[in-house]
A and B are shown apart, each in its own frame.
Chain A
Amino acid sequence: MRLALLSIFFAVTLFAHDIWIEKSDQGYKLLYGHLHISKEHSGAKIIKYDPNKIKKVICKKGDKSENLNVIKEYPLSLKKECDELYIFMDNGYYTKTSYGVKNLPKDSVKMALKSWRSFESIKYLEKNSKKPLSSAFEIVLLNNPKEVGDKARLLILFDKKPIEGAIVAYDSKPRGKSSKDGRVNIRIKREGLQNISATLRKSGDGKKSDEIVYTTTLNFKVEK
């Protein structure tokens, strides 16, 4: 048995904001904020992000994957057809101090209370290859849920290996934890754009950050 109790603070910091990819006739758009606003998950619908934090964009079409050089402007927009689109961001260091949270490493601020480094990624599925696109933290959808009530059967990978203990959330609400073989099942509860997130925490160097927080999101659509 693994007794893994989370504090309220921990849960809130994990899933305080959403990242998602919006698909339209104009292409893909990367957005940040609160996708599905509720009593428990409230705030501004759209929050501006720094496009310079985007480090990698991978587009897979058929059997071919390519790294895209994108114009780093807000919001990130792509006019390209992809079966799968993967975006990786390095959000840098965050340090909580008694006078607020700073986007700086622990050794660069005074009165540091807690610090972490944040890596974030997101994948949008048009067609599901059931394979990873990156060697970073990633969610692989192993089946093709078609309607509300179906389960999304997920494989959580880190460095292309199954990872245990990643906390997986649906619509920002944690629903489970990945098993030894990286597996976890999440039930589809709404139609439209699905937003499934996984978070993994590792120890930092103690100097610049106490821990490293990896977050990855999976987007795909369910029509009914």
Chain B
Amino acid sequence: MKKTVCASLLVATLSYAHHGVASLGVVGLEGPGAPVETTSSAMLPEDKFLAYMKLDYASYKKYTDVIDDEMEESYYWMYGIGYGFKSYLSGYIFLPYYTKKQEDSVQTSGFHDINLMGVLGFKYDEGFILTPQNESLDDLEDWHFTIFANVSLPTGDSELKTANGSLYDAGMQLSFGEPSYMIGLSATKWFGNGFTLVMDTSYNTFQEHTYSDGTRVKFADEIRANAALAYKFYVNPKKKLRFDTNLEANFLHLGRDKENGVEQEATGGDILYTTIGFRLFYNNISAALGVKLPVWTKLNEEDKQQGSEGKEDYRVIFSFSTLF
């Protein structure tokens, strides 16, 4: 069972000081909000760095009282750094650190595959234009978009072995073994008041990898579609503090994994999550916390897919980012 690298970029928004001085890249009091999980269309300010950290914690439902290798929980840490090459072009490097625990104290833990991501920002203002360097509050009300592309490089370990010397299941490994590719699109509309609508969709594909025992595994392609509504709930201009609440719908479609060219049972399906969370902006720091719950699932073999996406009790997502 595979866990993907979700490269939701909760970047700091363009912002405005009290009474609205446009100040690119300052996490701010005015302007669009940014959700917890859905990818915002905000770009990094030119020549600025973003340091980023995210934890996606999953606690899985268990169905038996006996010790039978049920997945218990997982911690997906993501450390990243981003740079604004241009107001319309940002680049990121992400280093994931994963811990996957089963109920019998079996776990794999370590750095997963490095991700490289490029983001191209554009907007609609009497036609499509690249995201400009300077935007007024009125410009920020325009529809903003990004196209993002991601490649993961197999820098993690895909040959982890159990105590008896056999390979861990592919889903427990710390690498996909081959590069994976993702392309996505985001759209953001700030309504000029407290509300921001954010949507994104992405497609992630994986290559077949042959393990040292000769097994060939191709993880299934993934399609994600997210929609979020962020609301500016509280602002304290003197303290340069802003507090947003977020409500999100997160859809995930998983195909079937293949082993030696054969589609595997108990893999794949459709899941709809809802994420309820909030985001805090303080100076040039942004922190978000959300709870993600599966509200609807249509898994291929529902009763055999313990420990997969859609079978969580809950997920908790925390992210922290700062511009410098």
Contact = CB atoms under 8 A, between A and B. Distances in A.
Interface of A: 1-8, 10-11, 15, 151, 167-170, 173-180, 183-187
5 contacts: A1-B45, A8-B237, A15-B19, A185-B138, A186-B136
Nearest to B324: A1
B284 interface: yes
Contacts of A5: 17-18, 21, 23, 26, 240
A6 B24 contact: no
In order of increasing CB-CB distance, the 9 nearest A-B pairs are A176-B136, A11-B19, A179-B134, A1-B25, A174-B20, A187-B138, A5-B17, A177-B22, A176-B22
A15 to B, nearest CB: 8
Contacts of B26: 1, 3, 5
A179 B45 CA distance: 14
B24 A11 contact: no
Nearest to A14: B19
B178 interface: no
A175 B134 contact: no
A94 to B, nearest CB: 20
Given A8-B237, A11-B18, A11-B19, A176 B135 contact: yes
Nearest to B49: A1
Interface of B: 16-26, 45, 47-48, 125-126, 132-139, 141, 237-238, 240, 284, 323
A157 to B, nearest CB: 16
B240 A176 contact: no
A175 B138 CA distance: 7
A11 B23 CA distance: 15
Contacts of B134: 176-180, 183-184
Nearest to B237: A8
A169 B127 CA distance: 25
Nearest to B141: A187
Q: Which of B17, B19, B125, B137 has the most CB of A within 10 A?
A: B19
B29 to A, nearest CB: 9
